[in-house]
C-alpha cells in the first residue's frame, strides 16, 4: 500500500515536470519560429510609432509611462476587501490595498471601501475622500456578501453611481461580480501557482509525517477557479508568471488579463545610510561584522523558515568564522521566532515593525533574504528591500525570477533545499560588502523602474479609466489607447 502511494506521488510529480518542460519548449520554439515574441526594445519601438490597445498590452503595465498630472476625469471607485490592514501586521494583499487606494485617493479619486470589522475604530488618513463601509464578518472571517452588496447598492444609487469596482481577490464573490462589467479583480495568488509549493512541501516532509493530499485537492481547486474566474470582467495579475497562467491555463481572453506588478511607497522605503547606522547602533551591532542578513514577514512554515533555520544552524556549527562575522536581523513574528533565538546572540528577532522602523531595518542590513515556499503573488518585502538599495536573495520561484530577480546583478536565487540555500548564503558572504552594494544599486534601479507605489497607482488608474468608459471615449480622452511619450 505504501509502495503504491509513493509510486503514485512520483508519477504525479514526473507528469507535472514533463508538462512544464513541454510548455517551456513549446513557448521557446514558438518565439523563435513564429517571430511573435518581441523584445522589450522592439515593443517600445512599436509603441512609439503608433497607439496601441492598452487592454491587449502583453507585459507589465509598470514599464509604461503615464502622465503624473492629475487626470481630468475623477473616478468614484468601490473596493471590496476581506480585511483592512493593521499597520504592523498586514499581509501582502492588505498592504497592496492600502498603498494603492491611498495613492488613488491622493490623486483625487473618491474611494469607497467595503470591508469587515468587529469595531468602528479605523486609522485616520491624510485624505478626505476615503470612505469606509463596515460590516460584521461571517463566522469564518469573510465578508458578509449580502450585507456588503446591500451597502454597495445603496451607495451606487445615492447621487453618482460608481465608475469602476475593484475587488482584492474574492472580496466580492463571483456570484455577485458576474453582473458587473466595469470591474477588475486583483489576484494575489491562484491555485495553479501553489502546486509548486505543494510539491516543495511534500519533498521536504519528514518521513515520520503522513503524506499530505494537497496535490490532489489543489488540482480540483484549479478546475474550480478556471470555471468561476470568467465571472470577473477584468483580471489583474501581480506577476508576469501569474499573467501568463491566467491566459494560457485559465484560458481567459488576453484583453481581460492585465499585469500590474506590486509597488511600495518610495517615500518610506528609500536609501538612508544614517538611519541604517542608527538602527545598528540601537541593537548593538558592531561595525566589524562582515555581513548583516535580514529577514522580514510572518515567521511560519510556508514562508520557508524551517528551511532557513536548519540552514543557519548547520552553517553556524560547521563554520565558526561565518558565525562570528555575521549577524541575522529578523523583523516579524510567528512560531519560528522562538527557534531563531535559540541559534545564539548573533540572531536578533525584533518582532513586527511598523513601516517607518521597517525602513530603518532595510537600511541596516547588507542583503535581504526571503526563503518563501509560497509560489504565489509578489512579496512586498523583496520590493521594499530593493527600493532601499539592498540586494535580494530568494527562492527560485516563477513569480520571483520572472519579475523581481531577473538577473544575478541584483541578487541571488536558490532552490528550496538546504544545500542550495547554503551555497547562496556563503556566496553572498564571500562576495563581501563591496559587491553587495553594487548589486544593491542595480536592485534600486529596477525597483524605481517597476516597483514604486507611484508606478503601480498610475497603472491601475489608467486601467480603471479605460474600463469605466468601455473604450467609448472621444479620441481626445480614449483611455484605452496608449501612445508612448518618449522620444
Residue 452: CB atoms within 10 Å: 23
Q: Domains in the chain, please, with CATH?
A: 53-205+212-263+454-469 (3.40.50.2000), 273-451 (3.40.50.2000)
CB 382 within 8 A of CB 392: yes
Write out the E strands in 19-163.
52-53, 76-83, 110-116, 130-135
What pLDDT is recorded for position 473? 47
- The pLDDT of residue 87: 59
Quick one: DSSP state of residue 211?
A: P
Nearest to 460 by CA among 138, 53, 84, 96: 96
Burial label for 480, CB within 10 Å (0-12, 13-18, 19+), is: buried
Among 66, 76, 174, smallest CA distance to 479 is for 66
Extract the runs of DSSP E, i.e. beta strands, from 99-151: 110-116, 130-135
C-alpha dihedral over 291, 296, 300, 302, to 10 degrees? -90
* pLDDT given at position 10: 52
Nearest to 197 by CA among 448, 343, 438, 416: 416
pLDDT along the chain (487 residues), means of 10: 47 47 38 39 56 93 90 95 75 88 95 85 82 91 93 92 96 94 95 85 78 76 94 96 96 97 96 97 94 96 94 97 97 94 95 94 98 87 97 95 95 96 98 98 97 96 92 63 71
Q: Can you give the pLDDT at residue 11? A: 47
Question: What distance in Å separates the CA atoms of residue 77 and residue 102, rounded to the nearest whole number?
Answer: 12
pLDDT of residue 149: 96
Amino acid at each position: 500500500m505504501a509502495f503504491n502511494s509513493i509510486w503514485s506521488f512520483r508519477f504525479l510529480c514526473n507528469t507535472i515536470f514533463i508538462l512544464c518542460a513541454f510548455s517551456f519548449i513549446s513557448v521557446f520554439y514558438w518565439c523563435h519560429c513564429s517571430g511573435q515574441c518581441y523584445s522589450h526594445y522592439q515593443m517600445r519601438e512599436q509603441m512609439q510609432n503608433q497607439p496601441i490597445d492598452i487592454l491587449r498590452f502583453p507585459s507589465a503595465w509598470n514599464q509604461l509611462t503615464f502622465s503624473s498630472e492629475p487626470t481630468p476625469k475623477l473616478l468614484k471607485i468601490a473596493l471590496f476587501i476581506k480585511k483592512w490592514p493593521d499597520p504592523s501586521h498586514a499581509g501582502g494583499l492588505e498592504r497592496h490595498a492600502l498603498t494603492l487606494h491611498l495613492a488613488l485617493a491622493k490623486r483625487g479619486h473618491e474611494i469607497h471601501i467595503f470591508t469587515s470589522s468587529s469595531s468602528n475604530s479605523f486609522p485616520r488618513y491624510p485624505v478626505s475622500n476615503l470612505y469606509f463601509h463596515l460590516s460584521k464578518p461571517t463566522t469564518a472571517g469573510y465578508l458578509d456578501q449580502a450585507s456588503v452588496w446591500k451597502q454597495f447598492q445603496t451607495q451606487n444609487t445615492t447621487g453618482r453611481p460608481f465608475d469602476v469596482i475593484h475587488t482584492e481577490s474574492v472580496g466580492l464573490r463571483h456570484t455577485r461580480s458576474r453582473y458587473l462589467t466595469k470591474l477588475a479583480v486583483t489576484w494575489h495568488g491562484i491555485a495553479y501557482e501553489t502546486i509548486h509549493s505543494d510539491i516543495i512541501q511534500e519533498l521536504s516532509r519528514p518521513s515520520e509525517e503522513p503524506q499530505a493530499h494537497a496535490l490532489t485537492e489543489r488540482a480540483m481547486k484549479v478546475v474550480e477557479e478556471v470555471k468561476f474566474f470568467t465571472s470577473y470582467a477584468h483580471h489583474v495579475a501581480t506577476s508576469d508568471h501569474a499573467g501568463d497562467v491566467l491566459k494560457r491555463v485559465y484560458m481567459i481572453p488576453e484583453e481581460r488579463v492585465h499585469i500590474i506588478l506590486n509597488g511600495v511607497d518610495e517615500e518610506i522605503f528609500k536609501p538612508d545610510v544614517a538611519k541604517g547606522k542608527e538602527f545598528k547602533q540601537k541593537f548593538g551591532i558592531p561595525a566589524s561584522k562582515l555581513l548583516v542578513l535580514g529577514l522580514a514577514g510572518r515567521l511560519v512554515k510556508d514562508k520557508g523558515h524551517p528551511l532557513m533555520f536548519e540552514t543557519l544552524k548547520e552553517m553556524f556549527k560547521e563554520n565558526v568564522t561565518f558565525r562570528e562575522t555575521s549577524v541575522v536581523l529578523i523583523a516579524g513574528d510567528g512560531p519560528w521566532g522562538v527557534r531563531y533565538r535559540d541559534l545564539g546572540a548573533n540572531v536578533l528577532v525584533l518582532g513586527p515593525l511598523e513601516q517607518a522602523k521597517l525602513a530603518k531595518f532595510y537600511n541596516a542590513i547588507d542583503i535581504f533574504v526571503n526563503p518563501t515556499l509560497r509560489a504565489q503573488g509578489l512579496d512586498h518585502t523583496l520590493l521594499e528591500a530593493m527600493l532601499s538599495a539592498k540586494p535580494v536573495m530568494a527562492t527560485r520561484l516563477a513569480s520571483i525570477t520572472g519579475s523581481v530577480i531577473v538577473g544575478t546583478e541584483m541578487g541571488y536565487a536558490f532552490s528550496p533545499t538546504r544545500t542550495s540555500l547554503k551555497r547562496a548564503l556563503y556566496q553572498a558572504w564571500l562576495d563581501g560588502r563591496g559587491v553587495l552594494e553594487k548589486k544593491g544599486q542595480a536592485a534600486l534601479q529596477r525597483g524605481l523602474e517597476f516597483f514604486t507605489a507611484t508606478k503601480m497607482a498610475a497603472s491601475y488608474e489608467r486601467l480603471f479609466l479605460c474600463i469605466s468608459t468601455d473604450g467609448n471615449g472621444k479620441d481626445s480622452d480614449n483611455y484605452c489607447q496608449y501612445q508612448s511619450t518618449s522620444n
